[in-house]
Structure 1
Amino acid sequence: MLILVTRFEFGEFFQNIKYETCFSMFQNISPALAAENPLYTETAAETIYKTQTESDLDYETILAQEAASENEAAVSEETVIEENEKSSKKDQPVTISKDKLKDFDYLLQKFYTVDKTTTIKSSQLNADSLLKKDCKLSQDNSKPQILIYHTHSLEGYKDSKSGDLSTTVVGVGDYLTKLLKEKYGYNVIHDRGTYDKDRDNAYSVAGPALEKILAKNPSIEVVIDLHRDGVNGNTKLVTETNGKKMAQVMFFNGLSRTTAVGDIDYLHNPYIADNLAFSFQLQLQATQQYPGFARKIYLKGYRYNMHYRPKSLLVEVGAQTNTLQEAKNAMEPLAEVLDSVLSGEN
């Protein structure tokens, strides 16, 4: 029997929870077969998508903290190669059928990876509902509209320089800020604070800092937590868009629910539906405009400080196997996609 030990955030405190679990649905199925045939449970009016992993890599079950578990969203090299091959027509926009999006199975397979630590309901991933959510900015740029920050500011790339935040994901945030301000005219605050000197407590450290910034700037409608993923050393998250090699990006959502314990009441997020709508509208726009640029949206348990604003976004920009320039290049299509959704032009 597998023993899982985890600590969850509870305000400024952490609660140690020890529990035993096993996934009975896999008792009579080999892991390989289970990965190829995701299981669904039909209830009265909705489908619950049980588990799927996009990789053969071990996700190390549920890690001790959100800060540790978030960075496990890695895909196999084979998957990345396959996705890059599909993006050979990268400069040719595609159109996704709205009728196909109504099919829950198609929606999941095309746009999502559901981590084995959580579950998702068809009522939460209804394409019509996701697309009907108004994700446009409601205020002009006379006051701050967008906040960019980094729970893990020390996440670097293969050519990053030790001790130089401008060469980590923070430098990528600098460029995204510049693009959103100068090219698209948004009023953006870029918080370059470091919260991950103790990585295990990064989310709990970042939370109070975010609260102060948002209290001082209540006009902020969009909160973007920019990260860099961690993958197998042979995995290359690289695509080419507009003639430039760039890192692939991945939108990430926390569902405040784990397979083992269900909904996590003390990690309540009143904006889960809004968060999901925001990431899906961005994903759909990116998929149609820049095929191969965005990996599938990753769904996992916990909250990841996405409860402060309806339009909260966690973005993984490439991985440690990318160069800093590849990561910066990725900010150009990302800024364009953000503008399309926030301006209502998508």
Structure 2
Amino acid sequence: MKNLLGVLPKAISQQLENLRENILDDVEEIRIRVNRPLEVTAKGKPYFIRYIPTENDAEQLINRLANFSFYTLEEELKKGYVTIEGGHRVGIAGKVILENGQVKAIRYFSSFNIRIAREKIGAAEPYVPYLYKGRWLSAMIIGAPQAGKTTFLRDVARLISSGVPERGIPPCKVGIVDERSEIAGCVRGVPQLHFGPRVDVLDACPKAEGMMMLIRSMSPEVLIVDEIGREEDAQAIMEAVNAGISLVMTTHGETYRDIQKRPILKKILSQQAFDRFFELARGGRPGFVAAIRNADGDLIKSNEGVSRA
């Protein structure tokens, strides 16, 4: 948080520094909206601070994000967010400029959403017996927004890349397609978080294209991707699975039953492309696993610790 506070306008960073320590340590998002109260979210709960950000605050922030050179941000602004040192992602809203029906830029910045990138080393370690059976299994991580899907996914990637010596599991080659620069939090292509020695990242690359690029050029044993959104993504997932590559991905939803209703996932589920489904829930910590299911969707472990495997 200290590095992040240094990027913010002084008036705003001072307000955040005055937060109670138990709130500051758990901040998930900082929302800065011009002429509206400063908002922070900690453990899923919003807190409003009696400070009203000004247009001058917005101008200071965007200048700092761009290092006073808007040219450096031109491509990122088209996507509506900027990734900064530490892997934190800053979403931006304001007046959109179009060219031939496509987003060219954003001007007159009015809102910023700073999502704090957190690592929880060891979050996935208790679940290695459900992720590894002589090889790393394909797994889908299901959860609502801010349930800790990306936090859990990062630690799975770290475990696969580093290996688990105490269980006799060797390090494997991991390819990450990070379309929204959210998994690895790359800055100038370099991951800002810890992933072990055998990770290769395609940053800001569409998933379908990225998966095929990595398969052709980097020979990954496991692919890591976030939420799929296009039919092409689903096709690329099936290509990877049929090529013998394990895949770990996240998807939005509360339960396995929720994702069964999504058209883009129906084919994947019908072909049992995934061996495990992890249902996450808010349990007081990021990446709290409420249930684990097998390829058929049957419960094999619940959060009460009842195992049926």
Same fold (TM over 0.5): no
More contact order relative to length (CA 8 Å, sep ≥ 6): 1
TM-score w.r.t. the length of structure 1 is 0.26
Larger radius of gyration: 2
Bigger strand share: 2
